[in-house]
Amino acid sequence: MHYAIVSETYPPEVNGVALTVQALEQGLRARGHDVDVVRPRRHEAVAPVPGELLVHGVRLPRYPGLQFGVPATRRLLRHWKADPPDAIYIATEGPLGWSALRAARRLGIPAATGFHTRFDQYMRDYGAAWLAPVALGWMRRFHNRADATLVPTRELAGFLQLQGFRQVQRLPRAVDTERFNPRWRDNALRGEWSVGPHDLVVLHVGRLAAEKNLDLAVRAFRRVQQVRPDARFVWVGDGPARARLEADNPDFIFTGVRRGESLARHYAGGDLFLFPSRSETFGNVTLEAMASGVPPVAFDYGATREHLRDGEHGAAIADGDDDGFIAAAVRLAADDDTRTAMSRAGVDAVSQLRPQQVAADFDALLQQLVHGGRHEPIALAQTPRGR
């Protein structure tokens, strides 16, 4: 098969959407398919690699290094008329994504979209909660023009269906347990953080931005320090909130963006993972922390609801219960034996999540669209946790 993937974010950008899209592309290639990638050009001097179409992009305000693609319907029509893909996957709802949908419809090419970002919830985090219904309506119009909308959890599928989204299909996520693994724990790295083998490292990995609810992580850590004075808070990632966090918390360690083996070592160097975000569609970092042997404290939705058993792999906190989040962080910080047991159980829980299976499921879904089939509507019932 010949597939095309359209995304307004792609590595070397580091975010959940970019890395998920790359994993899907690599999974299809590993299965023997030809895959074209359409994305914005990061630097004018960078030439596309084979199988890649670069379009003009515009920087996102307040997000240096990220871009959205400008409208490119005519260019995509020319490109796909000359070499039509069998199916198209559109990962983002920006101008480039809309252009790809229009081109696909005009050419009669089946297209699936991915629901990766809760823009409606972002409105609240940036002080414009009144725009949330507008954002949701805009996303509904976009995704309902596609032949299928792919989501990572049954919880999200049920929500979207109730909001009038059609043809919602679940494509589960996985984690690379070879890359994220406790064996990467490195006491030399912990030494660079001025912590000993038995001191407590509290970890956060992700973009440092308003929608991540980072102030709750700070509050939780300050309470942790009351029971574990040896604790250090290590932040892996970057973003517009970093300067303020560093200025307000000079004792925190900020490592910046990490990739590959370095990221794996940073994960495995932690003892407790705080993930206070309430605006994720999934939250890949939860699975990465579990695979690395670091028990998470997170709100009970997305990856946490799908895969983390509260009290066994970490703590799953009811949405909006900030006091519960802080209490769980303190409780786990104070109990080394419980964290050790959770570490082992978490590694076991994600050990069967195979990226190869995600690629196979993705391939099967696209092929079904190619052949004119439809999946049965997804059930609204939730998947048993930890399965």
Q: Are 261 and 242 in contact (CB under 8 A)?
A: no
Residue 169 pLDDT: 95
CA quadruple 315, 320, 321, 327: dihedral, nearest 10: 50
Give the chain's length.
387
The span from the CA of 349 to the CA of 347, in Å, is: 6
The span from the CA of 249 to the CA of 255, in Å, is: 14
Provide mean pLDDT across the span 196-204.
96
Taking 50 as the threshold, does the pLDDT of residue 380 lie above it?
no
**Higher per-residue confidence, 119 vs 38:** 38
Taking 60 as the threshold, does the pLDDT of residue 72 lie above it?
yes
The span from the CA of 223 to the CA of 139, in Å, is: 39
Provide mean pLDDT across the span 107-126.
82
Residue 378 pLDDT: 43
pLDDT band at 129 (very low <50, low <70, confident <90, very high): confident
Residue 51 pLDDT: 81
Write down the mean pLDDT value for the chain: 90
pLDDT band at 63 (very low <50, low <70, confident <90, very high): low
Taking 80 as the threshold, does the pLDDT of residue 131 lie above it?
no
Provide mean pLDDT across the span 50-72.
75
Share of the chain above pLDDT 70, in %: 91
Element (H, E) at 363: helix 355-370
Q: Which of 116-130, 203-217, 233-247, 294-308 has the lowest mean pLDDT?
A: 116-130
Element (H, E) at 263: helix 260-268
Instruction: Give me the helix-helix angle, 322-333 and 336-350, nearest 10°.
Output: 110
Residue 214 pLDDT: 97
Helix spans in 92-241 (H) = 95-107, 119-125, 132-143, 154-162, 187-192, 214-227
pLDDT tens per residue, range 139-187: 999 999 999 999 999 999 999 999 999 999 999 999 999 999 999 999 9
Q: Which of 30-39, 77-86, 119-128 has the lowest mean pLDDT?
A: 119-128
Residue ranges per structural domain of the chain: 2-174+354-370, 182-350
Provide mean pLDDT across the span 257-283.
95
Residue 145 pLDDT: 95
Q: How many CB atoms lie within 10 A of CB 243?
A: 11
Q: Please, how many CA atoms are within 13 Å of residue 164, restricted to the half-sphere of its CB? A: 9
Which long-range contacts does 156-161 make (Cβ < 8 Å, 24+ apart)?
156/115, 156/281, 156/282, 156/302, 157/378, 157/380, 158/380, 158/382, 160/115, 161/377, 161/378, 161/380
Same fold, 2-174+354-370 and 182-350: yes
Q: Are 314 and 273 in contact (CB under 8 A)?
A: yes
The span from the CA of 127 to the CA of 247, in Å, is: 23
Say which CATH architecture domain 2-174+354-370 belongs to: 3-Layer(aba) Sandwich (3.40)
- CATH code reported for the domain at 182-350: 3.40.50.2000
Provide mean pLDDT across the span 17-42.
94
Taking 90 as the threshold, does the pLDDT of residue 122 lie above it?
no
